[in-house]
């Protein structure tokens, strides 16, 4: 469980100005699923799952995802963005207990 919150971000090794870049990211997280009692009613508790993902590039938000507990354990997200300048791409995962996990990669042109 010591890896909880570890974020991996992958981008292509060769990026040119103006390229549409495919980003793959993964966060290590248990993603608790809702439990039900014998009558089928939801057991009330603060379930721990990623509920928000925010992606910033050069300090500006380029993508934002709201998720539910139905996302699998250790969720994987893939998205694209247009690389206009060299700089940092940062992905922030937020869970329902206030946990905040970040991963970043420097976008370099080759």
pLDDT tens profile 27-55: 999 988 778 889 988 888 778 899 999 99
The half-sphere exposure of 29 on its side-chain side, counting CA atoms within 13 A, is 30
The number of domains in the chain is: 1
Question: What CATH number should be reported for the domain holding residue 22?
Answer: 2.60.40.10
Decide if 91 is inside a domain.
Answer: yes
Decide if 2 is inside a domain.
Answer: no
pTM (predicted TM-score): 0.87
Decide if 82 is inside a domain.
Answer: yes
Decide if 56 is inside a domain.
Answer: yes
Residue 22, domain extent: 7-33+42-107
Q: How far apart are alpha carbons 23 and 17 in whole angstroms?
A: 16
Decide if 1 is inside a domain.
Answer: no
């Amino acid at each position: 469980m010591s890896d909880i919150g570890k974020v991996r971000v992958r981008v292509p090794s060769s990026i040119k100005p103006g390229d549409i870049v495919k980003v793959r990211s993964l966060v290590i997280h248990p993603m608790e699923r809702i439990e039900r009692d014998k009558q089928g009613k939801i057991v009330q508790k603060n379930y721990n799952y990623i509920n928000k993902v925010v992606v910033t590039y050069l300090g500006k938000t380029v993508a934002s995802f709201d998720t539910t507990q139905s996302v699998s354990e250790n969720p994987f997200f893939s998205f694209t963005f247009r690389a206009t300048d060299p700089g940092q791409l940062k992905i922030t995962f937020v869970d329902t207990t206030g946990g905040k996990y970040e991963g970043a990669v420097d976008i370099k042109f080759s």
